Structure 1
Amino acid sequence: MSSKMTFYEIPIERLAENQNVIYSYNKEHYNGPSSNIDIRDIQRLSIDAYKELPAVPNETIAYYREQHEKGNRFGLFHLIPHVLSEGEIDVSNINTIKWSDEFLRT
């Protein structure tokens, strides 16, 4: 992975004017990266009710370990809910996260 990869930490309030859903990425419904997203895993996102995950799910960490041990390339956000937003997002003055090899080992 490139150490130059950058992600935006977007405050949920910045999505208030957009159409938003959350993809829960449920293990029970996931059929691989080339399959369609199961509609049961999509819900409208309530900005007021949204709660950020406190940590990476244990299932995701186990997946990372298993795939690493097998020598496979793997997705970084497996089984982590995804916020999908249609519309513009102001990214001025927000935190950016720059990934590095050191960060990925923690």
Structure 2
Amino acid sequence: MEYLYHVVPKDMVGSQLIPLNNLKVSQPEIYKKEIAKYNDHPQRKRLPNTKIPKLDCLWNDVVQLCPIHPNMIYQGWVYVGKTISRSLQFFQIPITEIQDKPTAIYHYDPDHTVGTPFKDKNFELIRVEDYKELTALPNKTLKWYQLLHEEGKFGAHFHAMPHIMVKGNVNISHSRIIDWKEAPAT
């Protein structure tokens, strides 16, 4: 079975991961908290209203999932010398949960400026039956971790890695919750 991953939100309500634009209506207080994270940089402020090619919707209309087991993210930080004591929990979502949902993979573009229109060529529609989890962190992600670690910073765990974008809600009722310190089953 192939999986997708998403950090377990602190204020999770229900059994669905919900795009921000849907949260705005159904859970406005959570929406306000989640949308605020885009206010950390002038370019990121524009990101929520950026169009997603291939899906014909906005950034805030999709749930973003990770195609890499969270332990690889954790191990990437350890590799660059970061000591991590805290846990971080993720939903391990069976790929079948996005069957029949419009889904695209965003391939990182180092030349893209956050908040500007995305290039169509960096997106690819994916089918559940063709999906395979990635088995390693991209080198650019590892270099990012190294740079942040050298600056005494920690975060932006998903920088420079592919993003799986699902238009609409994602059911997590059949998902397991795993810790990023937990190695993948072999």
TM-score by length of 1: 0.73
Q: Is the CA contact (8 Å cut-off) linking 2:93 and 2:174 kept in structure 1?
A: no
User: Where do 5+ consecutive residues of structure 1 fail to align?
Assistant: none
Partner of 1:39: 120
Question: Could you list the per-position Cα deviations for residues 6-42 of structure 1 after superposition, in whole angstroms to 9, with x for gaps in the alignment?
Answer: 3212121211121111111133x332x4444332211
**Counterpart of 2:124 in 1: which secondary structure?**
strand
What is the deviation of 1:73? 5.2
Q: What amino acid is the match of 2:138? A: P
CA RMSD of aligned residues (A): 2.5
How far apart are the structure 2 equivalents of 1:40 and 1:49?
19
How far apart are the structure 1 equivalents of 2:121 and 2:142?
24
Alpha-carbon spacing, 1:64–1:91, altered in 2? closer, same or farther (3 Å):
same
Correspondence 1:1-106 to 2 at 5 A = 3=86, 5-27=88-110, 29-31=111-113, 33-72=114-153, 74-99=155-180, 103=181
How far apart are the structure 2 equivalents of 1:67 and 1:36?
26
Q: Select the structure with the greater relative contact order (CA < 8 A; seq sep ≥ 6).
A: 1
User: Where do 5+ consecutive residues of structure 2 fail to align?
Assistant: 1-83, 182-186
Alpha-carbon spacing, 1:17–1:88, altered in 2? closer, same or farther (3 Å):
farther
Q: Is the CA contact (8 Å cut-off) linking 1:23 and 1:84 kept in structure 2?
A: yes
Q: Could you say which structure has the larger radius of gyration?
A: 2
Q: Number of paired residues? A: 98
**Counterpart of 1:7 in 2: which secondary structure?**
strand
Q: What amino acid is the match of 1:52? A: E
Q: Is the CA contact (8 Å cut-off) linking 2:141 and 2:160 kept in structure 1?
A: yes
Alpha-carbon spacing, 1:7–1:59, altered in 2? closer, same or farther (3 Å):
same
Q: Which has the higher helix share?
A: 2
What is the deviation of 1:98? 3.4
